[in-house]
Structure 1
Amino acid sequence: METVNEKIETIISQYPIIQYAFCSTQELTFSDKVRSICQTECERYGKSWSCPPGVGSVEECRQKCLSYGHVLLYTTQAEVTDSSIFAEALASRTSHEEITREILKDLKDAEISCFALSGDSCQICEQCAYPAACRHPDIAIPCIESYGILVVNLTDKYNIEFYTDMHTVTWFGLIFYQE
């Protein structure tokens, strides 16, 4: 009988996943300092359901993540003319978000209980309804940093590369699941 990890590997093998690792949610590092970056540096803070404070406190996010036993850390990549041009790098996230939504759909079709976090805040709607109810709660994906998660600890442990070259943007995703 196929394990959940084997089912997930079969599903993600259909997508342009560059690197991945299966981890325990106990390996995640949560920090209010990560969240403070959202508040001080992100224009979406307080304007999106996928960002703080809309996602809840770091402790609430931590509890949600830890309610799942396992997490898949994965990356996709996008080619750009110059990764240091912030607007161009940010615009490249669309394909990562689409891939994440498709993987989630496939996992749910395989009856795997899961939810995802991604490398940037949700951009499904041109203008988020926040603070009114989210228009697409079934497909909206919050940002990893909005949950206060320090991804670099996992990338170091599992040798997942953050940077390849100036023409490539690496996007990270986390999919939480039960075995």
Structure 2
Amino acid sequence: MNREVCAVVDPLLKDSGFADYLWVSPSAMMVSQWVRMKCMFGCPHYGKNASCPPNVPSVLECRELLSEYSMAVLIHLVCDIPSEGRKEWCRRSQMELVEAEKQIFLAGYERAFLLSFDNCNLCDECVPSPSECHHPYMRRPTMEAFAIDVYSSVRKLGYEVSVRRSPEDPEDRFALMLVL
């Protein structure tokens, strides 16, 4: 890892409230077509969210984009609040991550790009078309929208995660900040 990059980005992440993270090579992320299929067949946001499929690059393009980066930060968040407060927690956390991306950009890393942990929920109801988005500068795709097998990728990197069994169970959430 490039120590100079870490020396600049680490304080920015910590100042933004993100303490549980890991520097990774984007090549460690497992990109799989089946993840996109899960979006298409089973996700209620498919075609209804401006930053979800089909409004994202193809799986091949996602793989190519990740290959253009050599350093990224995998950010681990845990949501352990009751289900009625989770949407607001997700909204606030997403805004904090977008702000962290902006700070990394302003620090000289113009390629900084966030793959979020949750579908865009900046508005109470998302629009299906990117051209109609009310927050085009803040919306970001998820890791899953980029066909990243989050469970397998983070397990490979040492995180112990499992599928949530109940809506009240804590959630392990992951975002990927592409840096360099």
Scaled by the length of structure 2, the TM-score of the pair is 0.83
Residue-pair matches, total = 173
More strand by share: 1
Determine the structure 1 residue equivalent to 2:52.
Answer: 51
Determine the structure 2 residue equivalent to 1:12.
Answer: 13
Determine the structure 1 residue equivalent to 2:144.
Answer: 145
Q: How is 1:67-78 mapped onto 2 (pairs within 5 angstroms)?
A: 67-78=68-79
Scaled by the length of structure 1, the TM-score of the pair is 0.83
Report the CA distance shift for 1:98/1:162 in structure 2 as closer, same or farther (over 3 A).
Answer: farther
AA in 2 matched with 1:106: Q
Q: CA deviation at 1:8?
A: 1.1
Determine the structure 1 residue equivalent to 2:103.
Answer: 106
Determine the structure 1 residue equivalent to 2:63.
Answer: 62
Determine the structure 2 residue equivalent to 1:21.
Answer: 22
Q: CA deviation at 1:115?
A: 0.5
Q: Which secondary structure state, in structure 1, belongs to the residue aligned with residue 41 of structure 2?
A: helix
Q: CA deviation at 1:147?
A: 0.7
Q: Give every structure 1 segment of 4 or more consecutive aligned residues whose post-TM-superposition deviation is greater than 4 Å.
A: 87-91
Give the aligned CA root-mean-square deviation in angstroms.
2.4
Conserved? CA contact 1:50–1:142, under 8 Å = yes
After alignment, is 39-48 or 15-24 more displaced?
A: 15-24
- Structure 2 residue runs of 5 or longer lacking an equivalent are none
- Structure 1 residue runs of 5 or longer lacking an equivalent are none
**Distance across 2 between alignment mates of 1:24 and 1:79:** 28
Report % sequence identity. Answer: 26
Determine the structure 2 residue equivalent to 1:40.
Answer: 41
**Distance across 2 between alignment mates of 1:120 and 1:167:** 17
